[in-house]
Amino acid sequence: MSELEELNKEIRSCRQCRLAKDRRYAVPGEGPDQATIMFIGEAPGYHEDQQGRPFVGAAGQFLETLLSDIGLKRRDVFICNVIKCRPPENRAPLPDELALCRPFLDRQIALIQPQVIITLGRYSMEIVFKGVSITKIHGVARKIDGVTYIPMFHPAAALHQPRYRSLIEEDFAKIPAILANIAELDAPPPPPAPEPPQQLSLFN
Ligand code: URA
């Protein structure tokens, strides 16, 4: 069993906070062990809780559309949440729930080592950008300790308020260029140009 699978098992059996009581399944997240891109949402909703998988409801369908618009499939990326269990009635996560669940997310990031982390919504944005308004910084990539973070609106926001739809689509459209830029920075430097052949003189 990989370290990530062991961690998933630990998350599935976690009973550290009140959310364990009413959940059907904890939702660790899913995607390749070595994913380049990690999406972090807020918390599982009804469908995620029923299936034990992240982003499988309406917001998830929109996320898949946004991914396919930029040539990605959900199996190409790691998708998880700050909170691994569904809060009752989809209420906002409470500070103690966020604090207790946070080490799981930190361990996922440490194991997967994504190059790009895209935070979806306010709660996941706060893991790196505290006390700022998402309306001011959405879509702006920032590199911190070698990882590029891009805060974005939550896809569910677009389902509830259509004016967010184009903002999210515009922010997603920036992802390919950001990935290309990272690939370029990571590429080994080109080999030095060969010395021009020396014209041998007849006299030496
Ligand atoms: N919203 C989230 O933030 N996460 C999910 O997994 C589903 C909906």
Q: Is residue 112 part of a domain?
A: yes
Q: Tell me the H-state helices in the chain.
A: 3-12, 19-22, 46-51, 58-69, 95-112, 122-125, 134-137, 155-160, 163-173, 175-186
pLDDT band at 182 (very low <50, low <70, confident <90, very high): confident
pLDDT score recorded for residue 204 = 53
* Domain housing 132: 27-179
Q: 190: how many CB neighbours lie within 10 A of its CB?
A: 6
Q: Is residue 22 part of a domain?
A: no
pLDDT at 17 over 70: yes
Is the C-beta atom of 81 inside 6 A of ligand 1?
A: yes
Q: Is residue 54 part of a domain?
A: yes
Is the C-beta atom of 54 inside 6 A of ligand 1?
A: yes
pLDDT band at 184 (very low <50, low <70, confident <90, very high): confident
CA gap 123, 140 in Å, rounded: 17
pLDDT tens-place string over residues 158-173: 999 999 999 999 999 9
CA gap 73, 5 in Å, rounded: 21
Q: Is residue 3 part of a domain?
A: no
Phi, psi of 21 (to 5 degrees): -65, -45
Q: Is residue 33 part of a domain?
A: yes
Q: Is residue 189 part of a domain?
A: no
What's the total number of domains in the chain? 1
Tokens of 81: 């949440």
Contact between residue 120 and residue 88 where contact means Cβ atoms under 8 Å apart: no
**For residue 90, what is the domain's CATH number?**
3.40.470.10
pLDDT score recorded for residue 203 = 55
pLDDT at 202 over 60: no
pLDDT score recorded for residue 186 = 73
The secondary structure of 89-134 as a DSSP string is GGPPPPHHHHHHHHHHHHHHHHHH--SEEEEESHHHHTTTSTT--H
Give the residue, out of 19, 23, 30, 42, with the most ligand 1 atoms within 8 A of its beta carbon, to mutate for a pocket test.
42
CA of 136 to the centre of ligand 1 (A): 22
pLDDT tens-place string over residues 69-88: 999 999 999 999 999 999 99
CA gap 166, 177 in Å, rounded: 18
User: Residue 152: which H helix or E strand, with range?
Assistant: strand 147-152
Q: 1: how many CB neighbours lie within 10 A of its CB?
A: 8
Partners of 47 in beta bridges: none
CA of 199 to the centre of ligand 1 (A): 68
* Mean of pLDDT over the chain: 94
Residue 33 or residue 187, greater confidence: 33
Task: Please give the single-letter amino acid code of residue 114.
Answer: P
Give the residue, out of 81, 101, 126, with the most ligand 1 atoms within 8 A of its beta carbon, to mutate for a pocket test.
81
Is the C-beta atom of 97 inside 6 A of ligand 1?
A: no
Partners of 109 in beta bridges: none
pLDDT score recorded for residue 10 = 98
Q: Is residue 72 part of a domain?
A: yes
Average pLDDT value for residue range 34-63:
98
pLDDT at 201 over 80: no
Q: Does the global pTM surpass 0.85?
A: yes
pLDDT tens-place string over residues 102-155: 999 999 999 999 999 999 999 999 999 999 999 999 999 999 999 999 999 999
Q: Is residue 21 part of a domain?
A: no
CA gap 116, 37 in Å, rounded: 5
Percentage above 90 pLDDT, the chain = 87
